[in-house]
């Protein structure tokens, strides 16, 4: 409590100064006893500097306390801890609880928004929410119906609300928001409903819209100017609308429902854009810019500094929204500011985050087959583009043709479930899917507010492998190599946490919290929580003791397969029993479990 | 206007269920519920659309088409092969409990189950041509799954699309 008061009083003295809100947040992020942002820090490291829990003693971990959220759908994201208060969020109806860590988690306040239930079916894959954000003594919640709410962190009182989108045309929200300086950065979902994706900045104090940059559209909408670069060259005018046929860009997708990162020195925010609409590539010829793209924007103005399109003209639903992790590393004797991302398309990219130069693009699952490699030759006409394998091209095979054996499946080698980075080991810890698919596109018509998909998919475990649907891997981003890989029966749909104790944590769809050795991947501890884990592991310290927290509550896209399990239709009936359904292991729930070492 | 359009789509679909006209193949082989075939579609004795699976596993066109449409429009909530998810019930079982007309009504109008422990809402698909033009296809596919006549996955062999089905599809997708 002392610590929180000290910080808030500093902020109060200098109220109105934009930079200070940011300084306070930066200082809090550097304090390992708290967990003040969903991504661990602006760089998205998901690393805890706490080291009480070590590879030697983690085997003694025990449950300290639990909390039921009262909601039974997919629980993504994690709680925050600021001072002596923990903030826990839920899926729709998006309840926020403030729990008093000094009083056994007593509920200090609870906020439950009133949302029209008609938003529920407009969310493509469960009503998940990836958590609240904190800055300036305020908790920011971005509801399913795209209402942004600023709550007094002490009392839960509403300071302001703003509306970011229109659910009646399929605009919804699942993401957290990112506070930067005096603004909060806000995205939007609805790629399967033909929305025109955008990212927006709202004034932290008033909720007023400061700027909005679309992913697709004319230059004044996407906030590109003559200084916007791509792969070392200025982006020509009208780059987005010239890469679409007719007005298709207006329902072109490119939603922004993933994670955001920020570099305070460069004053740039980084994020990825989602799939172009529809899933039938024949209905949208062209590169469909700037869907599937990493975009670096100026935090004050929103102007795009550089862009890199990972999957031009998507044919597989490989949304490019995954987190961009910012690290500084030495390359050829020179310190470089880097950005590392594990894309849905199965390639792990390392870029220079100042210029957007592409440095590494390698597969992080050997099963990936839709492209042979990414062209790394700057002199080549196809520089930076994936070299698509014709057999696995749903566009080349055409409408009404079932393209089989594509790896990865539409849910990607990794979806939004965030990776962790340990500055101690220099490695990235990545939760992955090991799933392949058959994909048959066909023609669909657009109706506002209705699903706009246009493809039939069957997904199944990667053939000729260990039979499971996931791996948890350690990745060397400079070499572009897997250091070690743990096979998992189901997709790993939980965000990882790396710690200074050389322990890495992640959850599994069966409901286990697992702890592994950061160097070797050896399993050191597991505990079966009440429901499958799709939340992200976090850590904090209270009264001098380190805690580890995780939300359970199976659902999300992973929940689609709960009852059925995934089978390979090409394997025939005999294989069905081989891949047991997730429902044999877990059922719905909504619970926070907090772990500690014995006293 | 909305209501009129809904009624038109609905009418076109429901109309098919009791369509008269020339029939063929009365006394179909096998134990399935199909009593007769008309214009490439199969019907029960009561004139309700149903599936037909030949002894060699060849499925009728609508069942195959229903597999495709189900896995584009329905499966993100109701799970693969009609088996349900964490947040929506298995439709292969639902079509065993409700009749064809209730099925069409719920798909057209939606349904809500929202209380302290449920937040299940199915939207109205009455305006969605990608669903309503294929509602019989989706129904007979799910019925084949629910009856245990069709295994999981993509049917390996199928009948061809009849001209009548093709022209209905073109008209329905083009229509306002």
Using the predicted structure, report yes or no on whether residue B30 has a pLDDT greater than 80.
no
Top-confidence range, A174-183, A188-197, B10-19: A174-183
pLDDT band at residue A7, thresholds of 50, 70 and 90? very low
The pLDDT of residue B125? 92
The pLDDT of residue A19? 52
Using the predicted structure, report yes or no on whether residue A578 has a pLDDT greater than 50.
no
Predicted TM-score (pTM) of the model is: 0.91
For residue A448, list chain B residues with Cβ-Cβ distance below 8 A: none
Tens digits of residue pLDDT in A290-310: 999 999 999 999 999 999 999
State what percent of residues in chain A have pLDDT above 70. 93
Tell me, yes or no, if A93 comes closer than 8 A to chain B by beta carbon. yes
Using the predicted structure, report yes or no on whether residue B63 has a pLDDT greater than 50.
yes
Using the predicted structure, report yes or no on whether residue A570 has a pLDDT greater than 60.
no
Between A341 and B30, residue with greater pLDDT: A341
State what percent of residues in chain B have pLDDT above 70. 84
Q: Please state the rounded mean pLDDT for residues A560-570.
A: 57
Tens digits of residue pLDDT in A417-443: 999 999 999 999 999 999 999 999 988
Angstroms from B23 CA to nearest CA on chain A: 29
Any residues with CB less than 8 A from the CB of A196 and at least 6 apart, and which?
A214, A215, A216, A217, A249, A250, A251, A252, A253, A254
The answer to whether A340 and A348 have CB atoms below 8 angstroms apart is yes
Give one DSSP letter per residue of A532-589, joined into a string: ---SB-EEEEETTEEEEEEEE---TGGGGGTTT----GGG-GGGGGGS--GGGT----
The answer to whether A291 and A281 have CB atoms below 8 angstroms apart is no
Whether A103 is catalytic is: no
The pLDDT of residue A517? 98
pLDDT band at residue B79, thresholds of 50, 70 and 90? confident
Q: Would the CB atoms of A564 and B81 count as touching at under 8 Å?
A: yes
- Residue A70 burial (10 A CB sphere; 0-12, 13-18, 19+): middle
For residue B128, list chain A residues with Cβ-Cβ distance below 8 A: 447, 450-451
Counting Cα atoms < 13 Å in the Cβ hemisphere of A156 gives 17
Q: Which of B67, B69, B84, B85 to mutate to test binding with chain A, by most A CBs within 10 Å of its CB? A: B85
Tens digits of residue pLDDT in A243-273: 999 999 999 999 999 999 999 999 999 999 9
Own/partner long-range contacts of A149-156 (Cβ < 8 Å, ≥24 apart): A149/A111, A149/A113, A150/A204, A150/A207, A151/A96, A151/A111, A153/A82, A153/A85, A153/A87, A153/A98, A155/A109, A156/A96, A156/A98, A156/A108, A156/A109, A156/A110, A156/A111
For residue B154, list chain A residues with Cβ-Cβ distance below 8 A: 402, 438, 458, 569
Tens digits of residue pLDDT in B100-150: 999 999 999 999 888 777 778 898 999 899 999 999 999 999 999 999 999
Q: Would the CB atoms of B85 and A442 count as touching at under 8 Å?
A: no
Rounded to whole angstroms, the Cα distance separating A583 from B153 reads 19
User: Domain tally for chain B?
Assistant: 1
Report the side by side order of strands in the sheet with A347-352. Answer: A324-331, A334-342, A347-352, A358-363
Q: Can you read off the two tokens belonging to residue B85?
A: 């998810």
Q: Which of B72, B73, B86 to mutate to test binding with chain A, by most A CBs within 10 Å of its CB? A: B86
The residues in A 440-459 lying below 8 A from B, measured between CB atoms, are 440, 442-445, 447, 450-451, 453-459
Closest CA to A307 of A344, A254, A257: A254
Helix axes B163-174, B2-17, angle to 10 degrees: 170
Top-confidence range, A399-413, A438-452, A510-524, B71-85: A510-524
Q: Please state the rounded mean pLDDT for residues A497-526.
A: 98
Q: Would the CB atoms of B173 and A563 count as touching at under 8 Å?
A: no
Please, what sign has the CA dihedral across residues A166, A170, A174, A175? negative
Q: Please state the rounded mean pLDDT for residues B59-83.
A: 92
pLDDT band at residue A121, thresholds of 50, 70 and 90? confident
Which domain does B137 fall in, by range? 2-174
Tens digits of residue pLDDT in A351-360: 999 999 999 9
Using the predicted structure, report yes or no on whether residue A573 has a pLDDT greater than 50.
no
The pLDDT of residue B176? 59
Angstroms from B48 CA to nearest CA on chain A: 26
3-state helix, strand, coil in chain B (%, to 5): 45, 10, 40
Domains and CATH numbers, chain A: 2-596 (2.140.10.10)
Tens digits of residue pLDDT in B6-17: 334 444 444 444
Using the predicted structure, report yes or no on whether residue A204 has a pLDDT greater than 90.
yes
- Residue A304 burial (10 A CB sphere; 0-12, 13-18, 19+): buried
Any residues with CB less than 8 A from the CB of B62 and at least 6 apart, and which?
B40, B41, B42, B49, B51, B136, B137, B140, B141, B165
Task: Share the mean pLDDT of chain A.
Answer: 92
Tens digits of residue pLDDT in A61-114: 999 999 999 998 899 999 999 999 999 999 999 999 999 999 999 999 999 999
The pLDDT of residue A564? 59
Between B22 and A418, residue with greater pLDDT: A418
The pLDDT of residue A283? 92
Using the predicted structure, report yes or no on whether residue B2 has a pLDDT greater than 80.
no
Q: Please state the rounded mean pLDDT for residues A25-31.
A: 95
């Amino acid at each position: 409590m002392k610590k929180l008061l000290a910080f808030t009083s500093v902020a109060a003295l200098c109220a109105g100064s934009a930079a200070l809100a940011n300084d306070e947040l930066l200082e809090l992020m550097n304090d390992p006893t708290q967990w003040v942002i969903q991504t661990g820090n602006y760089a998205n490291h998901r690393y805890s500097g706490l080291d009480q829990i070590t590879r030697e003693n983690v085997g003694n971990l025990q449950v300290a306390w639990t909390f039921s959220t009262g909601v039974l759908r997919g629980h993504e994201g994690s709680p925050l801890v600021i001072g002596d208060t923990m903030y826990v969020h839920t899926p729709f109806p998006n309840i926020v609880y403030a729990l008093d860590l000094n009083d056994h988690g007593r509920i200090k306040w609870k906020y439950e928004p009133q949302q029209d239930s008609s938003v529920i079916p407009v969310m493509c894959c469960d009503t998940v929410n990836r958590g609240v954000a904190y800055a300036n003594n305020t908790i920011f919640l971005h509801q399913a119906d795209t209402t942004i709410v600023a709550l007094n962190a002490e009392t839960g009182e509403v300071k302001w609300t703003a509306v970011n989108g229109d659910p009646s045309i399929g605009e919804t929200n699942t993401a957290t928001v990112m506070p930067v300086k005096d603004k909060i950065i806000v995205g939007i979902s609805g790629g399967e409903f033909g929305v025109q994706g955008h990212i927006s900045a709202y004034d932290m104090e008033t909720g007023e819209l400061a700027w909005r940059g679309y992913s697709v559209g004319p230059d004044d909408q996407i906030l590109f100017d003559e200084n916007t670069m791509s792969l070392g060259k200025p982006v020509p005018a009208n780059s987005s609308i010239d890469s679409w046929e007719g007005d298709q860009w207006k329902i072109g997708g490119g939603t922004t429902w993933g994670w955001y990162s920020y570099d305070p020195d460069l004053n740039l925010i980084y994020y990825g854009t989602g799939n172009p609409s529809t899933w039938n590539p024949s209905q949208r010829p062209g590169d469909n810019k700037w869907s599937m793209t990493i975009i670096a924007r100026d935090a004050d103005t929103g102007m795009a500094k550089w862009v890199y399109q990972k999957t031009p003209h998507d044919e597989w639903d490989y949304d490019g929204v995954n987190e961009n992790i910012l690290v500084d590393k030495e390359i050829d004797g020179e310190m470089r500011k880097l950005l590392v991302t594990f894309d849905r398309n199965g390639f792990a990219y390392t870029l220079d985050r100042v210029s957007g130069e592409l440095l590494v693009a390698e597969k992080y699952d050997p099963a990936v087959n839709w492209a042979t490699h990414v062209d790394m030759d700057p002199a080549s006409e196809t520089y930076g583009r994936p070299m698509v394998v014709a057999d696995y091209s749903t566009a080349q095979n055409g409408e009404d043709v079932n393209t089989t054996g594509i790896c990865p499946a539409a849910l990607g080698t990794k979806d939004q479930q965030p990776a962790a980075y340990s500055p101690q080991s220099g490695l990235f810890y990545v939760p992955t899917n090991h799933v392949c698919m058959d994909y048959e596109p066909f023609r669909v018509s657009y109706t506002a507010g209705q699903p706009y998909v246009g493809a039939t998919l069957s997904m199944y475990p990667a053939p000729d492998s260990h039979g499971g649907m996931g791996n948890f891997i350690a990745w060397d981003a400079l070499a572009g190599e897997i250091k070690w890989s743990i096979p998992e029966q189901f997709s790993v749909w939980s965000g990882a946490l790396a710690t200074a104790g050389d322990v890495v944590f992640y959850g599994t769809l069966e409901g286990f919290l697992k702890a592994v050795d950061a160097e070797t991947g050896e399993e050191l501890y597991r505990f079966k929580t009440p429901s499958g884990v799709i939340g992200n592991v976090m850590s904090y310290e209270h009264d001098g003791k380190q805690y580890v927290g995780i939300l359970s509550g199976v659902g999300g896209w992973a929940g689609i397969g709960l009852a059925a399990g995934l089978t390979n239709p090409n394997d025939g009936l005999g294989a069905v029993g081989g891949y047991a359904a997730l429902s044999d292991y877990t059922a719905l729930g909504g619970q926070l479990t907090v772990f500690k070492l014995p006293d | 206007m909305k209501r009129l359009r809904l009624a038109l789509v609905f009418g076109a679909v429901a109309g098919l269920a009791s369509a008269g006209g020339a029939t063929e193949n009365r006394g179909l082989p096998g134990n399935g519920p199909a009593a007769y075939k008309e214009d490439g579609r199969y019907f029960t004795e009561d004139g309700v659309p149903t599936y037909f699976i030949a002894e060699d596993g060849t499925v009728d066109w609508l069942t195959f088409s229903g597999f495709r449409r189900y896995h584009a429009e329905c499966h993100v909530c109701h799970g693969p092969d009609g088996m349900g998810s964490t947040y929506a019930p298995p439709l292969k079982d639902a079509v065993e409990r409700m009749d064809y007309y209730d099925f069409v009504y719920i798909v057209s109008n939606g349904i809500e189950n929202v209380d302290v422990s449920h937040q299940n809402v199915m939207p109205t698909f009455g305006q969605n041509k990608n669903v309503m033009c294929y509602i019989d296809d989706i129904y007979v596919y799910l019925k084949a799954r629910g009856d245990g006549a069709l295994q999981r996955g993509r049917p390996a062999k199928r009948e061809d699309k009849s001209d009548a089905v093709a022209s209905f599809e073109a008209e329905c997708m083009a229509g306002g």
